[in-house]
Chain A
Amino acid sequence: MSAEPAAAAETLHSPEAYLAEIRRLCEADDPRAAGELAAEAHRRFPSDDRLLHWAYVLQPVMAWVASSGSELDRRFAVESDLRRRIAAEHPGEWVALLRDRLLAHGADRLQVLRAAHDAEPGEWPTLLRLPN
């Protein structure tokens, strides 16, 4: 069940207003509404790193049948292979992967997400930290 509906977009004039409403929805245990609002906020304020973060983490669940050969299955198999190949080059770093491409890497998770999103704005990367 959803919490109270999010405030209409026209009442949210700033990234701060969106951030407050996204947090309110999260604290009201409504991740779906929070995710929809975060996506909208990110579209309106694409340069705000905080909204980028919320839009990224609150995107809907991706689910697939493992080892099925589906598009998602192939994508994560390719990224898993890439992760293994680059693990020794970037130990302890955050990396943003998109299929067979390393979009960005570094120590700061948000900066890596930003760089990856700027490099490939149409698709969310897989963001993970490589083992030390």
Chain B
Amino acid sequence: MLYRDGRLFCIGMQRYVETIPARTSSPGIVLQVTVGWTPAAQLEAAIFDTGASWTILNRDLARRLDLLDVEGELTLPLSTRLGRFEGHLMRVPFVFPATEGMDLALVAPCLVCPEWYAPTFLGYQGLMDRLRFAVDPADNSFHFGVVG
């Protein structure tokens, strides 16, 4: 996708779904991402939520990445509609695989909370606010690009 003057607006597009398998609620835009430092990491479902302040990892995913048992001094509280949680901020790599175009890779601050059993959320602030994105609900396409 290009600007009128030919500059790139986005570099890739992914088809999203609107629910996470085995969950009855309809969370909205569910993207597929790989998380962590292993190139062959498995795809994870992550809810894109412009109302979420922080990106937060599902507990099981954090456990698989061996990020749960870190020192406890530098924690941060997180207030959500599911309650109040305590977590650690870590810098974690993500890849958005493209259905069309090129994959997007990034490293971003991310909250790891031992009690966060909900799915992984991609928060707006500190992550998605540093990316270009556009959504076309007509065909469930999520377009993404790098700013700058």
Contacts and interface: CB of A to CB of B under 8 A. Distances in A.
Nearest to A72: B105
Given A29-B54, A132-B66, A108 B71 contact: yes
Closest 9 CB pairs of A and B: A29-B53, A31-B126, A66-B103, A63-B106, A61-B130, A57-B89, A66-B105, A61-B108, A62-B107
Interface in A79-95: 80, 83, 92
A132 B64 CA distance: 11
B109 A63 contact: no
Contact of A58 (B106, B109, B131): B109
Given A110-B71, A128-B37, A65 B54 contact: no
Interface of A: 23, 26-27, 29-32, 35, 50, 53-54, 56-68, 72-73, 76, 80, 83, 92, 108-110, 126-129, 131-132
Contacts of A31: 53-54, 109, 125-126
B66 A131 contact: yes
B91 A64 contact: no
A64 B106 contact: yes
A83 B146 CA distance: 26
B106 A62 contact: yes
8 contacts: A29-B53, A31-B109, A35-B109, A61-B108, A62-B106, A65-B104, A66-B105, A132-B66
Interface in B116-148: 125-127, 129-131, 146-147
A72 B105 CA distance: 10
A66 B95 contact: yes
Contacts of B43: none
Contacts of A58: 89, 109, 126
Contact of B11 (A32, A61, A65, A83): A65
Contacts of A29: 53-54, 125
Contacts of B127: 61
A54 B76 CA distance: 11
A37 to B, nearest CB: 14
A60 B130 contact: yes
B28 interface: no
Contacts of A72: 105
B39 interface: yes
Given A54-B74, A80-B37, A131-B66, A66 B130 contact: no
A55 B89 CA distance: 11
Contacts of B76: 23, 26-27
B93 interface: yes
